[in-house]
Chain A
């Protein structure tokens, strides 16, 4: 019997029992559709995750922190301290820049000096603050306006999407661009821009601050006006500052009686003569910079290729600082996707096993019903192998039909799911894109698998059919 006739006969036999075939196929459809959706979800989520990392250049980055034990995620938010350890200073930046495969280094700092953001009568708390070199190493997804350029300095900020939403610019972020907001510092802010008055103290600095205008009284909060340059896609309430402004903000200034002042004061008192009213001592405004004292919070180093990040990280670690790459993050995440894939695939597999039992049942029924027909076929010259093939192909066809319809159903459901996922993404400040896709290999694999499952489920019934004694089969009522 020729292959094409085998397939044609099998198909005609399936059509004879439309309802039964349809129900059996339906069970496979459920299994195939769930496997399709689950695999599509896992592979697409994986691709999406990798592409996100690629688009922000994270796969090419090494995060340098003072602490040497931080992983990628924690290193991004690390803080420096002026204690032991190698400080992340400009000198270190030069050394890192000189390492092979390093294309650029961005310095990161956090100007933790602000208390609130005021706009149009609203006062919002300031949580996260970030500042980095605008040298293209850190790539932010900008929803409106633009990212910083090196020309931007004091009085310019970017806001994250949640802030923009709270300020009443949800879904019209462009209207926020160019708006002036007021930033209120904490009290005690002494950075550049703060009005610091010399303390009105006696010659002996008792430091209890009880007297009017005494030393130790904290300066009042300072107000800054800032122009919003852009809205950044982010989950957190974050404000972004130019690094140059951050450096100015992190300058601590205070009046201090320097050695020169003391000598000058003593000289003045001596000239005035004993018994005279002591002169008000002269004080000098002294400024120290936190970034110089403690170093930057972290450095983001860009390698020339993702394949070189490990080498770059090793070179950086040799300098005595911590270096974390996204590779560990990727590995951990891929493991999660892998496990997810196994679990979801397992559920689908169970559905397919149940469907396979359905196929066995259907085929056994068909053989009971067609016993006489099998007898006639044998009498007309069908070999045992032909009978076996016929029923195996029939079962395989059930599997294939189920696979095809299942993949189609899975595709339809993924289209629907994409609508919801896109909504969810834009709500979470990620640009909407169709995440769930069906790669061609997946379609082929699912259909091939269900066909194989069907054929395998048909093996036992087919074997039974082929072993029927033709004489008894012809006598069967």
Chain B
């Protein structure tokens, strides 16, 4: 497996700041407060875990930081730019260049090869064919799947699929990777593998935001953000258990 550091270049220093962010949903007659006056600053290179019971709003927080959802009120700035007021084009550029998503259910295109799946953000970013394939191959090699480039998702195991998804997330060298229950669909051994991979990303300087209800997994983070009824509280885990520790 290649060192992930090789996949990165340039400065990765997006500072994310949420100020008084509120997000409500209407579910039938009921109004659900997914986020209620959340204030949060994430420094570059942080490994943060977001925990909380299901329906508590942790995915909403991740979606807002990831730029696929917008707060009803409050501001969400990245390096000083308010993305809560950004237009579709700016927000899409932000998702494409700054954010990498990893989903619980992998969300790979079943008809496309691993390489094509990894290349998706590059294609959307306007990169040319040859350069794109080279970069996608690089990313697949970085997650240990250099020999699976032409395989389709149904020819890969669950762990391999999630590694393809991680390769896709890091294709455009994002500064923030958001992983929403990345191990939720995997057995514990594969889950360990994936977390190991994400941990390496963090060590390489990427800001890592992992949404999980697995407290053991969350304990490896530098910051643990707990959301309950839309309210954010934070606990700091013991230094020695941090994935970012000297080890």
Query: Does A79 lie at the interface of the complex (its beta carbon under 8 Å from any beta carbon of B)?
Result: no
User: Could you tell me if A381 and B88 are in contact, using CB atoms closer than 8 angstroms?
Assistant: no
Task: Tell yes or no: B130 within 8 A of A by CB.
Answer: no
How far does the alpha carbon of A382 sit from the alpha carbon of B91 in the complex, in Å? 10
Contact between chains at A381 and B63 (CB < 8 Å): no
Q: Which of B95-103, B155-163, B229-237 contacts A (4 or more CB under 8 A)?
A: B95-103
- Which of B68, B92, B109, B129 has the largest count of A CB atoms less than 10 A from its CB? B92
Please tell me if the beta carbons of A382 and B124 are within 8 angstroms of each other in the complex: yes
Residues of B within 8 A of A372 (CB): 107
Answer yes or no: A234 CB below 8 A from chain B CBs: no
Closest B residue by C-beta to A6: B123
B98 to chain A, nearest CB (A): 9
Size bracket of the A interface: 20 to 34
Query: How many A-B pairs fall under 8 Å by CB?
Result: 65
Chain A, 5-33, contact with B by CB distance < 8 Å: what is the 0/1 string? 10001001000100000000000000000
Residues on the A chain within 8 Å of B124, using CB: 1, 377, 380-382, 386
Cβ of B247 within 8 Å of any chain A Cβ, yes or no, is: no
Please name the residue on chain A nearest to B111 by beta carbon: A16
Q: Which residue of B lies closest to A383 (CB)?
A: B92
The answer to whether A379 and B101 have CB atoms under 8 Å apart is: yes
State whether B107 touches A381 (Cβ < 8 A). no
Rounded to whole angstroms, the CA-CA distance of A1 and B126 in the bound complex is: 5
The residues of A that contact B99 with a CB separation of less than 8 Å are: 379
Residues from chain A with a CB closer than 8 A to the CB of B184 are none
| B151-181 vs A, Cβ < 8 Å mask (1 yes, 0 no) | 0000000000000000010001000000000
The chain B residue with its CB closest to the CB of A17 is: B111
Please report the C-alpha to C-alpha distance between residue A380 and residue B93 in the assembled complex, in whole angstroms: 9
B109 touches A373 (CB 8 A): yes
B196 CB, min distance to chain A CBs, angstroms: 24
Looking at B97, B107, B129, the one whose CB has the most chain A CB atoms below 10 A away is B107
Tell me how far the C-beta of A134 lies from the nearest C-beta in chain B, rounded to whole angstroms.
74
Within 8 A of A (CB), among B120-149: 120-121, 123-126, 128-129
A375 to B120, CA, bound (A): 13
Interface residues contributed by chain B, number (CB under 8 Å): 28
A2 sits at the interface (CB 8 A): yes
Chain B residues within 8 Å of A377, by CB: 120, 124
Q: From B112, B123, B129, name the one whose CB has the most chain A CB atoms within 10 angstroms.
A: B123
Inter-chain CA distance A207–B138, complex, in Å, is 123
A379 B66 Cβ-Cβ under 8 A:
yes
Chain B proximity of A181: nearest CB distance (Å)? 79
CA distance A384 to B92 in the complex (A): 9
Q: How far is the CA of A318 from the CA of B54 in the complex (A)?
A: 101
Residue of B nearest to A386 (CB): B124
Contacts of A9 in B (CB 8 A): 123
Residue of A nearest to B171 (CB): A380
Chain A residues whose C-beta falls within 8 Å of the C-beta of B26 in the assembled complex: none
Across the interface, which residues of B come within 8 angstroms of A379, CB to CB?
66, 68, 95, 99, 101
> Which residue of chain A lies nearest to B69 when distances are taken between CB atoms in the complex?
A471
Name 21 A/B residue pairs within 8 A (Cβ), A-sorted. A2-B126, A2-B128, A373-B109, A375-B107, A378-B68, A379-B66, A379-B68, A379-B95, A379-B101, A380-B95, A380-B101, A380-B120, A381-B92, A381-B97, A381-B124, A382-B124, A383-B89, A385-B88, A386-B92, A386-B124, A471-B69
Closest 4 CB pairs of A and B: A381-B96, A383-B92, A470-B68, A380-B121
- A384-B88, A470-B69 given; name 14 further pairs at CB < 8 Å: A1-B126, A2-B123, A12-B111, A12-B112, A16-B111, A376-B109, A377-B124, A381-B92, A381-B172, A382-B92, A386-B92, A470-B68, A474-B68, A474-B107
